[in-house]
Amino acid sequence: MLIGFFRIGIVVILVNLLTSCGWFSDQSKDYLQAQSAPNLTVPKQLSNSKVKDTYPIPRGNLWQSNQPISIYPPGSSLEKQAKAKQAQQPVNRYQMGVGPDGEAALLVLEPFNQVWALLPSALTEHNHYVINQSIASSGIIDFHADKTAYRLNVIRYTLQQTVLILQTANGGFVEETQAKEILSQINYGLIDAAK
C-alpha cells in the first residue's frame, strides 16, 4: 500500500515537472497565426422571421388556478360546506391570460375538439369571416375582422383546456387592447355557439 502512494506521488511530481519545463509547447499565442475564414451567409430561401423556442418557458403564471385556497382544516364540516357552496356557483369557462410570448390569450376550459368545432360559428356570430380553416392538427384559423386579416392559433393546453392566441395574418403581435377585444368577442361567440 505504501508503494502505491509512492507511485502516485512520483506521477504527480513528473507531470508538474514536465508541464513547467516546457516539454509541452505553449499554445497561448496560437490565435495570432490564425487565418480568417470567409463570412457566413444565410441562403435567400430561409426566412428572416422571428425564431421561437420549441418549448418556451412561460413568463409567470399564465392563468390563475380555478381551485380557491381553502382556509378550513381538511375533512372538517366547514370545508365540506364551503365545497358544497362552491359547487353551486357557475364555473367561469373562459379566462383571459398571457401567452408564452407575452401576447393576449384566451383560455377555454373545454377540450380542443369541442372548441375547434364551435369556432367557425363563434367567429361568424360576431361579423368575422372565416377565410381558411386548416386541419385541426395544425390548429390555425385565418379570418378577417374589421377589414384586417388575423390568424387564430388554437392550442391544446391540456386534455380539458384549449388556448386561443390571436396574431396578425403573418404571425406577428396584435396590439394588446385590440387582441383582448377580439378574443372577448370570440369568447361571447363560443358561449352562444355552445347553447
Higher pLDDT, 22 or 114: 114
Q: Give 65's pLDDT tier (boundaries 50, 70, 90).
A: very low
* DSSP bridge partners of 158: 161
The pLDDT of residue 59 is 55
Distances (CA, A) of 47 to 13, 141, 151: 57, 22, 19
Global pTM reads 0.54
Q: Are the C-beta atoms of residues 187 and 106 closer than 8 Å to each other?
A: yes
Cα separation of 142 and 164, whole Å? 13
- Could you tell me the three cell numbers for 188? 361571447
Residue % of the chain over a pLDDT of 90: 0
The ranges assigned to domains in the chain are 97-194
Rounded to an integer, the average pLDDT of 1-17 is 75
Are the C-beta atoms of 187 and 107 separated by less than 8 Å? no
Q: Looking at the predicted structure, is the pLDDT value of residue 160 above 80?
A: yes
User: What size, in residues, is the chain?
Assistant: 195
Angle between helices 176-194 and 112-125 (to 10 degrees): 100
State the CATH class of domain 97-194.
Answer: alpha beta
